[in-house]
Amino acid sequence: MRGDGGSGETEGSGRPALADQRGVESVYQPAEDSALLARAVSERVDDGDRTLDVGTGSGFVAATMAEAGADAVGVDVNPLACQQARKRGVTAVRGNLVDPFRDEVFDLVAFNPPYLPTPAEKEWDDWMEHALSGGEDGRRLVDPFLESVGRVLAPDGEALLLVSSLTDPDAVREYARQHGLVGEQIASEKHPYERLVVLRFVRN
């Protein structure tokens, strides 16, 4: 249940700050999905690889990349997440998905998006809801990521995306195919109400 790396409220809009006013958690913390993605990432990263953790949150996956020898950076729209990631020692950029980065620069891009299907009428009003809500079909940020990630991948680069069985991984792979990406499942983990899946994409 995760992901806080997509488009959100602009600075100064006030809405995400409601979480801070209530004194609740404002940054997604590592959970089972984070651990599954981190394991998959650590098996694929080589020394010196340039890597990106989209929706870095607390910086857990980005830190795993760095521990595996990568030159890792995280990106998140949540300024509080960027602060937490930096405290973990992660280079963190505030931005939407892969927008801040140059073409063909990363050997590996990882994303643990918000994938929980959420009714359209339930509008998020703080950073944590934004981190969890995947929209009506769970793909509010999955689809934009697939539309854009190919641009920043090095010629032999790859993207690792964590999704849930609730998000329909087959439909995600088909959408990726329509945007020039070939996908395969490389890891999965069963949980009481869902199966978590890590999909690997390369440019077609």
Query: Which CATH number does the domain housing residue 61 bear?
Result: 3.40.50.150
Name the band, by pLDDT with cuts 50, 70 and 90, for residue 194. Answer: confident
Work out the burial of residue 147: count CB atoms within 10 Å of its CB; fewer than 13 is exposed, 13-18 middle, 19 or more buried.
Answer: middle
User: Does some domain include residue 1?
Assistant: no
User: Residue 6 pLDDT > 80, yes or no?
Assistant: no
Question: Is the Cβ–Cβ distance between 72 and 66 less than 8 Å?
Answer: yes
pTM, whole model, 2 decimals?
0.83
User: Does some domain include residue 5?
Assistant: no
User: Does some domain include residue 3?
Assistant: no
User: Does some domain include residue 7?
Assistant: no
What pLDDT score does 156 carry? 96
The tally of domains found in the chain comes to: 1
d(CA 50, CA 20): 34
DSSP per-residue string spanning 1-44: -----S--PPTT--STTHHHHHT---SPPP-HHHHHHHHHHHTT
| 3-class secondary structure, 139 | coil
Name the band, by pLDDT with cuts 50, 70 and 90, for residue 140. Answer: confident
pLDDT tens per residue across span 78-127: 999 999 999 999 999 999 999 999 999 999 999 999 877 776 665 555 66
User: Does some domain include residue 63?
Assistant: yes
pLDDT tens per residue across span 12-69: 333 333 334 333 467 877 788 999 999 999 999 999 999 999 999 999 999 999 999 9
User: Does some domain include residue 4?
Assistant: no
What pLDDT score does 74 carry? 98
Tell me the mean pLDDT in the region 141-170: 95
What pLDDT score does 69 carry? 96
Identify the CA nearest to 186 among candidates 29, 64, 25, 41: 41
Domain that holds residue 95: 18-203
User: Does some domain include residue 189?
Assistant: yes
User: Residue 201 pLDDT > 80, yes or no?
Assistant: yes
User: Does some domain include residue 129?
Assistant: yes
